[in-house]
């Protein structure tokens, strides 16, 4: 590999992705020791697979994604529908498909599929969006978002809406149009609560954000235990294999939704700070790549990926400390889940691809 080729590789982005994934693996290992779970080994396998996918995507021009966006979108939407019919259920939700020993979660792939679809559609508008463009872009997300919501997976449905809004903002939506969309969204949320479309536990998650002492047996309990765990970790934490809230299973969904609580207890403020720094490097490189991209399509893709990651990081960490509603949104590269990890590493591969074709 010559010097020119090396310069076209964003080693800082690769380092951030690898460090985040390894950080997550270390935490999963500490959890699996106490529970004899195979989650660490499964996550490790997905990580190795993700490295291969990231490298492959990085080597194929991201412009080719436009040519495959329709079949990819159709297949993903089909899988979302199949999940509702024959998907595996857990905790009252049907979100997974079983392929032999492997469980996949199509809703995780949906995030990236819609980013590609929206960027492909709006890139041709060159930053000038009409009402018709906004309406057509909404039609792209409405069916996948609805299918995800019916699983039910409110958190991922919210991420899809945020991705759409983020792409619209980057693509140059007019403030009046954005305000109208947000107003309609608030009205729809109100109607959903009044008519019972939102389940009671979903409503409780919103109410607990306002009143943490509400529903202390379920949703409020999760938030209370999360705060206790993070607060008890202090500056240096209780140790990778220690921590009463974690080891005694007081923290619900410790390896997924509330994994930041585990980090806070075991590794303390310092460990949490290191994690946030890793995320800062990841997001700053994403923004840099978006600004360095030599075409509008590449910029849209990069910024949409960055918006997806930023929202998930902010909401996941925020809900564990009580500044955001509990929504079940995973922490990118850290929370357990092969589909999520593979999706995020594919997104990183797209960013590497944009960078390599933008740096002269």
pLDDT for 4 beyond 50? no
Give 126: exposed, middle or buried? Use CB within 10 Å, 0-12, 13-18, 19+: exposed
In whole angstroms, give the CA distance from residue 203 to residue 223.
15
Query: According to the model, what pLDDT value does residue 5 have?
Result: 47
Give tens-digit pLDDT for 93-121: 678 888 777 889 999 999 999 999 999 99
CA distances, 22 to each of 15, 32, 199, 333 (Å): 10, 15, 36, 9
Confidence at 199, pLDDT banded by 50, 70, 90: confident
In whole angstroms, give the CA distance from residue 15 to residue 256.
23
In whole angstroms, give the CA distance from residue 146 to residue 137.
15
In whole angstroms, give the CA distance from residue 246 to residue 260.
11
Confidence at 124, pLDDT banded by 50, 70, 90: confident
Query: According to the model, what pLDDT value does residue 98 have?
Result: 82
Query: According to the model, what pLDDT value does residue 313 have?
Result: 97
Query: According to the model, what pLDDT value does residue 1 have?
Result: 41
pTM: predicted TM-score of the whole model, two decimal places: 0.92
Confidence at 24, pLDDT banded by 50, 70, 90: very high
SS3 content of the chain, % helix, strand, coil (to 5): 75, 5, 25
Give tens-digit pLDDT for 227-284: 999 999 999 999 998 888 888 888 888 899 999 999 999 999 999 999 999 999 999 9
> Is the omega angle on the peptide bond into residue 102 within 30 degrees of 0, that is, cis?
no
Please tell me which residue, 203 or 355, carries the higher pLDDT value: 355
90 forms bridges with which residues in the sheet? 93
CB atoms within 10 A of CB 98: 11
Please tell me which residue, 206 or 96, carries the higher pLDDT value: 96
Of all residues in the chain, the percent with pLDDT exceeding 70 is 94
Assigned token pair, 187:
């009205």
Give tens-digit pLDDT for 152-188: 888 899 999 999 999 999 888 888 989 999 999 889 8
Question: Helix, strand, or coil here: 102?
Answer: strand
Give the helix ranges, DSSP H, for 60-105.
Answer: 65-86
In whole angstroms, give the CA distance from residue 63 to residue 301.
11
In whole angstroms, give the CA distance from residue 298 to residue 302.
6
Confidence at 200, pLDDT banded by 50, 70, 90: confident
Match 């490189």 to its residue by tokens. Answer: 285
Query: According to the model, what pLDDT value does residue 3 have?
Result: 43
CA distances, 106 to each of 153, 208, 219, 229, 256 (Å): 12, 29, 26, 32, 17
Query: According to the model, what pLDDT value does residue 36 have?
Result: 64
Residue 297 phi, psi (nearest 5):
-60, -45
């Amino acid at each position: 590999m010559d010097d020119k080729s090396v310069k076209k590789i964003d080693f800082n982005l690769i380092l951030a992705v690898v460090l985040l994934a390894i950080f997550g693996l270390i935490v999963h290992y500490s959890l699996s020791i106490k529970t004899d779970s195979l989650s660490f080994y499964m996550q490790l396998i997905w990580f190795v697979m993700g490295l291969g996918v990231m490298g492959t995507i990085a080597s194929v021009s991201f412009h080719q994604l436009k040519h495959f966006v329709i079949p990819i979108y159709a297949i993903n939407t089909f899988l979302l529908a199949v999940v509702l019919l024959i998907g595996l259920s857990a905790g009252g939700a049907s979100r997974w498909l079983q392929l032999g020993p492997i469980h996949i979660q199509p809703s995780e792939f949906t995030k990236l599929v819609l980013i590609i679809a929206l960027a492909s559609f709006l890139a041709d508008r060159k930053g000038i969006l009409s009402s018709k463009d906004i309406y057509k872009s909404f039609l792209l997300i409405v069916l996948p978002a609805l299918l995800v919501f019916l699983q039910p997976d409110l958190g991922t449905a919210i991420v899809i809406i945020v991705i759409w809004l983020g792409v619209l903002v980057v693509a140059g939506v007019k403030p009046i149009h954005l305000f109208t969309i947000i107003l309609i969204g608030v009205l729809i949320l109100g109607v959903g609560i009044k008519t019972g479309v939102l389940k009671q536990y979903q409503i409780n998650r919103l109410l607990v954000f306002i009143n943490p002492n509400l529903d202390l047996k379920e949703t409020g309990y999760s938030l209370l235990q999360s705060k206790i765990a993070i607060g008890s970790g202090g500056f240096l934490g209780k140790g990778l294999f220690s921590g009463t809230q974690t080891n005694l299973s007081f923290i619900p969904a410790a390896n997924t939704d509330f994994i930041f609580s585990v980090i806070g207890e075991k590794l303390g403020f310092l460990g949490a700070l290191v994690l946030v720094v890793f995320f800062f490097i990841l997001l700053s490189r994403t923004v840099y790549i978006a600004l360095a991209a030599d075409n509008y399509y590449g910029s849209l893709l990069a910024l949409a990926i960055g918006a997806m990651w930023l929202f998930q990081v902010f909401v996941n960490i925020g809900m564990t400390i009580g500044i955001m509603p509990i929504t079940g949104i995973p922490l990118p590269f850290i929370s357990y889940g092969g589909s999520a990890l593979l999706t995020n590493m594919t997104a990183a591969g797209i960013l590497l691809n944009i960078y390599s074709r933008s740096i002269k």
